[in-house]
Amino acid sequence: MVEKTSYTADNIQILEGLEAVRKRPAMYIGDIGIRGYHHLVYEAVDNAIDEALAGHCNNIQVTLNENGSVTVEDDGRGIPVGIHKKYNKSAVEVVMTILHAGGKFDKDTYQVSGGLHGVGISVANALSTWLEVEVKREGKKYFQRYEIGKPLEDLKEVDKTEETGTRVTFLPDHEVFTHKGFEFEILATRLKELAYLNKGVKVSIQDLKTNRKDDYHFPEGLKRFVSDLNSSKNPFHDVIEIEKKQDSIEVSIGLQYNTTYNDNVFSFVNTINTIEGGTHLVGFQTALLRSISNYIKKNNNDKISLTGEDTREGLTAVISVKVPEPQFEGQTKTKLGNSEVKGLVGAIVYEKLNTYFEENPANAKLIITKISDAAKAREAARKARELTRRKSALESGSLPGKLADCQERDPSKCEVYLVEGDSAAGTAIGARDRKVQAILPLWGKMLNVEKARVDKVFGNDKLQPVILALGCSIGDEFNVEKLRYHRIVIMADADVDGHHIATLLLTFFYRYMKELVVRGHIYIAMPPLFKITKGKQVNYVYNDKEYDELIKELGKDGINVQRYKGLGEMNADQLWETTLDPENRYMKKVNIEDAAAADKMFSVLMGEEVEPRREFIMRHAKEAELDV
């Protein structure tokens, strides 16, 4: 039973004002596109999660309303309603209008907090056309409305109630955002993740326009999270659970090995996805290697020298720590820096794993066999890597022969196009800006790395040129500082075969050069499907929907339509104008908004298990565009 501490206006602390939010919104929410738009909801949800972390909230409901607004409601204690001494206004108004104001800075109110930057609900208020807040506490219901972040009236009592909690409804300001409308799937993915990470808390989302509703409630927490992540991967033992609280830090870990060749380890701090890892991840990996190495020494006659990479082959794990004062660093400010966490996590994992191996010798033997095979494959990969180096040295320095390199040597200014087929590559070479754009032709069937070990990847003649051209290697030798091009563009035909090749390449980057995806170096070119000419007017169209709208607009008389079945059908001028010219081209940047969801998608699409893939295709069949 969590001791109920008091939560009043005196607990609300002020760090700074709110003036700059509307002037520079991207500084506070990342961007003003689809990501920042949904981030507003996360700010409201984070407040509810903080109440859950403190033991005062069991239910969180997110509702997408018919008028485009969103409602976030919880059954926590409710935002304090008393008058704040410094500002002489209600604590609700202080929280809603002043940046960095809230109870999460007072450790008597919240031991741990899920807000990464602490900018809070005030940012959502500042960037919304209107916001309404309803608070239920101390037997009363209170209400206040804001427009563009400014209160229309003081907080007022509107009813009596025995319930407690906070309900916030807001409509993002479409004069600020380039995106419009909340997407159910984006919000549902994050809410489901929060339900896994906060076992016992019920999180629900509903869309009143479509009547779709999902409820997430996982009393088993990370055990269920790992089990679901592995649902398409053929695991061969039960999920190992590790839970312990020590020195005000809570450590929760779930891990399970499967028959694949890639590791999928996800780490969280106070429910924040630490995509760059940190001290908690290092502590886990160190203890895993130490525990397994010691077990092999005690129980096996084989003399095997292991690396950390060997012990993670086929591993799916989720590491969640709750830290009172997290220190974040790294490129995206999602890398934990607290030095004390490393040793604490390491000690807990080492102790619990040793116990599990001793109590479950049959499972331990299966795991050790898997890891021993991985070590042997690593040695084979080392030999293949050496062979690749010798071969490349004999050919042309260290670059593949078919690469048409660029003249610039500053990687931050360079981009390389990975182009399907010699014909399209030849056109691209003639069309490019040779100063900063390199072209690497790809041909033949690409290896599906989801079904292959690292030694097969290094020995594959289709992937070797890509590894050599990028210069940063893969696996344990990966070094992002040696990357030769900061923009890597996958350019394939806009048909089924092209999509398949793009997916194979994305799987390769995600599994073997994941940091390139995390850092935003990977792009997908979007060549047009049609060229529509009427008189002197020329339009390039990128999908069937755009095509239908432009016919309607231009009329059918006197128009000439050219459909591109492949990149090779374009001449150099057209390819430059539509796909290579930085001023006009259209391309998608690949990022990992949710690494767990991305991992599951690649496993389903590219893995060995047929049934999950069939279910995925059937479920999304209506969303697919048929290319006839």
Residues assigned a catalytic role: 420, 493, 495, 497
3-state secondary structure of 280: helix
As given in the structure block, the two tokens for residue 539 are 């339009």
Residue with tokens 């005690």: 298
Q: Is the dihedral of CA 80, 85, 86, 87 positive or negative?
A: positive
As given in the structure block, the two tokens for residue 213 are 């509703």
* Helices and strands per DSSP (H, E), number in the chain: 19, 26
- Residues written for the chain: 628
Concatenated DSSP letters for 398-423?
Answer: TS-TT-B--S---GGG-EEEEEESHH
- The CA-to-CA distance between both ends of the chain, in Å, stands at 62
3-state secondary structure of 264: strand
| Selection from 98, 126, 80 nearest residue 14 by Cα | 98
Q: What values do phi and psi take at 282, rounded to 5?
A: -60, -45
Pairing assessment for the beta strands 437-442 and 415-420 based on DSSP bridges: parallel
Instruction: Identify the H or E element spanning 516.
Output: helix 514-518
| Selection from 447, 433, 439 nearest residue 508 by Cα | 447
Question: What's the Cα-to-Cα distance from 302 to each of 177, 252, 299, 307, 383, rounded to whole Å?
Answer: 61, 33, 9, 15, 21
| Selection from 546, 519, 520, 511 nearest residue 531 by Cα | 546
Angle (CA) 95-100-101 rounded to 5° is 30
Q: What values do phi and psi take at 139, rounded to 5?
A: 80, 5
- Mutual angle of helices 610-620 and 595-606, in 10-degree steps: 110
| Selection from 104, 18, 19, 123 nearest residue 53 by Cα | 104
As given in the structure block, the two tokens for residue 38 are 């949904």
